[in-house]
Amino acid sequence: RRRGGGGAAAAPGVLARSFASDASPARKVAILGAAGGIGQPLALLMKLNPLVSSLSLYDIAGTPGVAADVSHINSRAEVKGFASEDQLGEALEGSDVVVIPAGVPRKPGMTRDDLFNINAGIVKSLCTAIAKYCPNAIVNMISNPVNSTVPIAAEVFKKAGTYDESKLCGVTTLDVVRAKTFYAGKAMVPVADVNVPVVGGHAGITILPLFSQATPASNASLSHEDIKALTKRTQDGGTEVVEAKAGKGSATLSMAYAGAVFADACLKGLNGVPDIVECSYVQSTITELPFFASKVRLGKNGVEEVLGLGPLSDYEKEGLENLKPELKSSIEKGIKFAKEN
Ligand code: NAD
Ligand code: LMR
């Protein structure tokens, strides 16, 4: 065994832990935008994940400090920082999972789509590098507007001849995290036990939480008005944080948590852990739209199954029809951008 952990003189407990992490395969995770509001706490959480053996932190500003800081934590992952475009190839090479929180966040009064003009170009150039240096990595797209940046990534990969739809995931986990938290509060059930699928996309009404499928069943009697309020709060969760931060950005800490949950699920899937199911915005045939968020099964090849919507309430059926025009136009906008640029 190459990784000695505490070495021959270490206490038995230390050795046992070291051998336990040796049992999980070497996995490299790259974070692009690693010195940003999301990137920093996400780097911390990925450094703490025992499934990660190599953590590659890339940003165009501030990377050395973040990498030096995170690297001192005594956990498995070996940390390397990459600070300029000429180092992007090295940052990406050999990656199993690439998480992308690079780009500008919203300010109060803006929609996620208002970020398109800046973030579309950033995502396009980063995905061009991914196609070149780690075409087999699972991409976790966080940069907004996710409804458009995922189709942009798909087009970039298609142009490069590397597109594999099972390796491209829009991260919508924060919507699930919010839906779980808000439901647990209203339904008076332990939040750790809660499951709520959230489908559609990741902006306003395209975020469709399926509270009719929430488990465990509510301990309080939830009226239709309660469900409508929970739905609206989940859809406006990002705006709630943007307004509370009053010009200092959008969700970073809850997003880093959500991003870490999703990346961990991808790693577990790659490692062959069975029954890893998360919601994600992926290429899809479960509606007429080419990209759609729903539950997906993650496995050794990334997204191994896109799961159906299950039974919907009338309110959810209406929400589904209402979200389609906006989601369709965001998808088309992303595809058009990637084809024309
Ligand atoms: P931030 O401004 O704090 O950080 C962004 C980082 O990206 C910065 O460090 C910046 O230097 C870096 N960056 C810019 N261009 C880059 C490039 N070409 N290559 C590498 N790095 C680059 O922003 P943030 O709060 O971390 O948010 C980042 C993005 O995530 C925003 O687009 C935001 O809207 C989005 N977001 C998505 C979700 C979601 O649920 N999917 C949740 C929250 C935020
Ligand atoms: C969120 O849902 O918090 C993110 O998409 C950031 C935003 O702009 O709302």
How much is the ipTM here? Answer: 0.99
Q: Tell which residue, 237, 234, 191, 235, has the closest CA to residue 215.
A: 191
C-beta of residue 255 within 8 angstroms of C-beta of residue 44: no
How many angstroms is it from 3 CA to the middle of ligand 1? 34
Crossing angle (nearest 10°) for helices 116-133 and 146-160: 40
How many angstroms is it from 72 CA to the middle of ligand 1? 24
Tokens representing 218 are: 């509510």
Task: Report, in angstroms and rounded to the nearest whole number, the Rg of the chain calculated over CA atoms.
Answer: 20
How many angstroms is it from 239 CA to the middle of ligand 2? 7
Q: Whose CA is nearest to atom 3 of ligand 2?
A: 238
Ligand 2 closest atom vs CA 174: 2
Ligand 1 closest atom vs CA 175: 40
Ligand 1 pocket test: pick from 255, 282, 291 the residue with the most ligand atoms within 8 Å of its Cβ: 255
Say whether 36 counts as a known binding-site residue.
yes
Catalytic residues: 202
Say whether 141 counts as a known binding-site residue.
no
Alpha carbons 77 and 34: distance in angstroms, whole number: 15
Task: Determine the pLDDT at residue 22.
Answer: 55
**Residue ranges lining ligand 2, Cβ < 6 Å:** 105-106, 112, 144, 174, 237-238, 241-242, 250-251
Q: pLDDT tens digits, residue range 145-192?
A: 999 999 999 999 999 999 999 999 999 999 999 999 999 999 999 999
Average pLDDT over residues 109-114: 97
Tokens representing 122 are: 């950033």
User: Tokens 């499951």 correspond to what residue?
Assistant: 195
Say whether 227 counts as a known binding-site residue.
no
Tokens representing 139 are: 């991409």
Q: What share of the chain is helix, strand, coil (3-state, %, to 5)?
A: 50, 15, 35
Choose between 288 and 8: higher pLDDT.
288
Ligand 2 closest atom vs CA 115: 8
Within the chain, where are the H helices?
12-22, 39-47, 63-71, 88-92, 116-133, 146-160, 173-187, 224-235, 237-245, 253-270, 314-340
Average pLDDT over residues 260-269: 98
Q: pLDDT tens digits, residue range 274-296?
A: 999 999 999 999 999 999 999 99
63, pLDDT greater than 60: yes
Measured in whole angstroms, how far is the alpha carbon of residue 174 from the centre of its chain?
A: 8
Contacts of 190 (CB under 8 A, 6+ apart): 184
Task: Count Cβ atoms within 10 A of the Cβ of residue 220 and give its class: 0-12 exposed, 13-18 middle, 19 or more buried.
Answer: exposed
Q: Whose CA is nearest to atom 18 of ligand 1?
A: 122
> How confident is residue 23, by pLDDT bands cut at 50, 70 and 90?
confident
Q: Whose CA is nearest to atom 4 of ligand 2?
A: 238
Ligand 2 pocket test: pick from 146, 234, 239, 241 the residue with the most ligand atoms within 8 Å of its Cβ: 241
Phi, psi of 200 (to 5 degrees): 100, -105
Lowest mean pLDDT among 13-17, 50-54, 318-322: 13-17
Alpha carbons 25 and 4: distance in angstroms, whole number: 15
Q: What angle do CA 138, 141, 146 make, to 5 degrees?
A: 145
Task: Determine the pLDDT at residue 138.
Answer: 99
How many angstroms is it from 77 CA to the middle of ligand 1? 23
Alpha carbons 120 and 141: distance in angstroms, whole number: 12
